[in-house]
Amino acid sequence: MIQIVKRSNISKTDNFKIKCFAILLSLLVLGMFLLVISLNPIDVYVGLIKGSFGSSYSIQQTLIKAIPLIITSLGISIAFKMQFWNIGGEGQIVMGAFAATFFALKFPNMNTVPLLLIMFCAGILGGGLWALIAAVLKGRWNTNETIVTLMLNYIALKFVTYLQYGPWRDKNAMGFPKIPDFSANATLPDVFGINMGWIIAIILVIIVHIFMKYTKKGYEISVLGESEKTAMYAGIKIRKTMYTAIFLSGALCGIAGVIQVSAVTRALSADVAGGAGFTAIIIAWLSALSAPVIVIASILFAALLEGASFIQTAFGIPEAAAQLIQAIILFFVLGSEFFTKYKINFKFQGKLKEENKNE
């Protein structure tokens, strides 16, 4: 006889232990899957670590990959805190990058500092307004935001593809369909060998952490996420709070887009987001929507991505393995949350009968 009892509360260490156990279990299951497709799981795991942290070059690459993940996850976490399922991070990154590219291509010879500032402002507006579409539709007519943000992803991606083959096509690229590269002035400079996006990311982590934990607006967002009715009785302006939060959510994704296009790809294309918008959803959830934990989780996921491209060359495992690993880890962590919320009591049939007799 199994009895499920709700836990009243759970200590942080127990919670951490359960999550770690879940991750270990997921690696075990993955290992079995790797054995099935006749690969040595230990080789693969060692390869993953080697490819992501094995040399100073690979550490650099891992951190470069972590920057957009951190910033996008911050954005997603604000929306999720409000139980607004923004899965449009990918599109918001692309629209941020698009807005920045507009100015980068228009004023390629402007001084670096003012040009970058304009590009960041444009990116914030681009990403924020793109997300706001879904928020306004939800605010007015209660339209399902999951689907709308997702459709907006596809629209953003196809729009950039259209620009790439149409109006923004580089005439000097010998007929190759691409959007022109950024000028040196429009490129984000490096600090300690990594583009200065990492400084922006750290600043944003601190700002978002303070905003969500210690300001009135941040508190209102979490109340709204817990219960719309409570928020209403507390006199929180629901629509206004939602619009602000979602604009911020999209704006952060937009910033990630500006950094990607200006420092990493250096030309706008549909691949500028490269799945960061989706990975960020997982990171935000795994980190329990907490800004400091997001940093650690993002670096680990970036390592997974970087390691996956290494094992692709080393073992010929398709890069999609990274996606599979992410998903399996998340499945286990999602499942483990049950054990943080509930306790399972096993009772033997005989004992139970005795108890019944006593009643």
Partner 1 sequence: MNSITTFLAAAVVAGTPLLFATLGELLTEKVGNLNLGVEGMMLMGSVIGFMAGLSTGNPILAMIAAAIAGAFGALIYAFLTITLRANQVVCGLTLTIFGTGFSSMVGKKLIGQVTPDKIKAFFVPVRIPVIGHIPFIGDIFFNQDVFVYLGYVITILLYIYLYKTAKGLNTMAVGENPAAADAASINVNAYKYVNTLIGGALCGLGGAYLSLVYVPAWQENVTAGRGWIAVALVIFATWRPHRALIGAYLFGGLDILGFRLQGLPGFEISQYLIDLLPYVVTIVILVIVSMKKATKNSPPAGLSIPYFREER
> Which residues of this chain interact with partner 1, rule CB under 8 A?
4-6, 85, 87, 137, 141-144, 146-148, 150-152, 154-155, 158-159, 161-162, 165-166, 278, 281-282, 285, 317-318, 320-328, 330-331, 334-335, 337-338, 341-342
In the bound complex, what is the minimum distance in angstroms from residue 348's beta carbon to partner 1? 21
Nearer to partner 1 by C-beta: 87 or 188? 87
Closer residue to partner 1 (CB): 114 or 177: 177
Please state the closest distance from residue 173 (CB atom) to partner 1, in A: 17
Q: What is the closest distance, in whole angstroms, from the C-beta atom of residue 329 to partner 1 in the complex? A: 9
Least Å from the CB of residue 327 to partner 1: 3
**Both structure tokens of 50:** 């080697």
For helices 89-106 and 112-141, angle between their N-to-C axes, nearest 10 degrees: 140
Query: Residue with structure tokens 């650099």?
Result: 60
CB closer to partner 1, 216 vs 229: 229
Q: How much of the chain is helix, strand and coil, in % rounded to 5? A: 75, 5, 20
**Burial of 300 by CB count in 10 Å (0-12 exposed, 13-18 middle, 19+ buried)?**
middle
Choice between 33 and 107, CB closer to partner 1: 33
188, 196 Cβ separation under 8 angstroms: yes
Question: For partner 1, which is the closer residue by CB, 76 or 221?
Answer: 76
Q: What is the smallest separation between the CB atom of 166 and partner 1, expressed in angstroms?
A: 5
Cβ proximity to partner 1: between 122 and 282 the closer is 282
**Closest to 127 measured CA to CA, from 138, 119, 139:** 119
Strands 194-195, 342-346: parallel, antiparallel or unpaired by DSSP? unpaired
Residues 285/270, Cβ–Cβ less than 8 Å: no
CB distance 253 to 92 below 8 Å: yes
Q: What are the DSSP calls for 276-288, one per residue? A: HHHHHHHHHHHTT
End-to-end CA distance of the chain: 18
Rounded to a whole number of angstroms, the minimum distance from the CB of residue 53 to partner 1 is 22
Phi, psi of 55 (to 5 degrees): -140, 170
Kindly write down the DSSP assignment for every residue of 22-46, as one continuous string. Answer: HHHHHHHHHHHHHHHTT--HHHHHH
173 vs 191 by CB, closer to partner 1: 173
Q: Which is nearer to partner 1, 210 or 327 (CB)?
A: 327
CA 91 to chain centre: 12
Work out how close the CB of 90 gets to partner 1 at its nearest, in angstroms, rounded to a whole number: 11
Pair 191, 199: CB distance under 8 Å: yes
State the minimum distance, in angstroms, from the CB of residue 321 to partner 1: 6
For residue 341, count other CB atoms closer than 10 A to its CB: 11
C-beta atoms surrounding 246 within 10 Å:
30
- Shortest distance in whole angstroms from residue 285 CB to partner 1: 5
> Measured from the CB atom, is 260 or 326 closer to partner 1?
326
State which amino acid sits at residue 153. N
